[in-house]
Amino acid sequence: MTSSGVMGIAVGTLLGYAFPSHYSLVTIIATILAMIIGAVFGALVDYQTLLSGVTSGVMAGIMGPMIGVVADLTLVTFCSLLVYAMFGLLCFSIRS
């Protein structure tokens, strides 16, 4: 849940800050990306965790662009670091 939540809020904030006039498209993209990240991390454990990750991704993907529209440069920089950290966590947690 944490990975999809952080990723949804961070990506939503970054895209919302970059494209404030395309709010609906940014919300859809952030929500879909967060749902996919939640499904990937949840699939590592079991079905209930997969559903929990997807649900957390939906909530975070909808909230992220709201924050991004009113964000300042410090918050955008922090969210950029969070996105890199979550992709790094994803790369190191996939089963081989």
Whether the pTM exceeds 0.85: the reply is no
Per-residue model confidence (pLDDT) at position 83: 84
Q: How confident is the model at residue 36 (pLDDT cuts 50, 70, 90)?
A: very high
Q: Which of 31, 29, 51 is nearest to 41 (CA)?
A: 51
Instruction: Give yes or no for residue 32 having a pLDDT over 90.
Output: yes
What residue type is 85 in one-letter code?
A
Tracing tokens 């967060």 back to the chain, one arrives at: 34
Q: Quote the DSSP letter at residue 94.
A: S
- Distance, CA of 12 to CA of 25 (rounded, Å): 11
Based on its alpha-carbon atoms, the radius of gyration of the chain, rounded to whole angstroms, reads 13
Contact 87, 40 (CB under 8 A): no
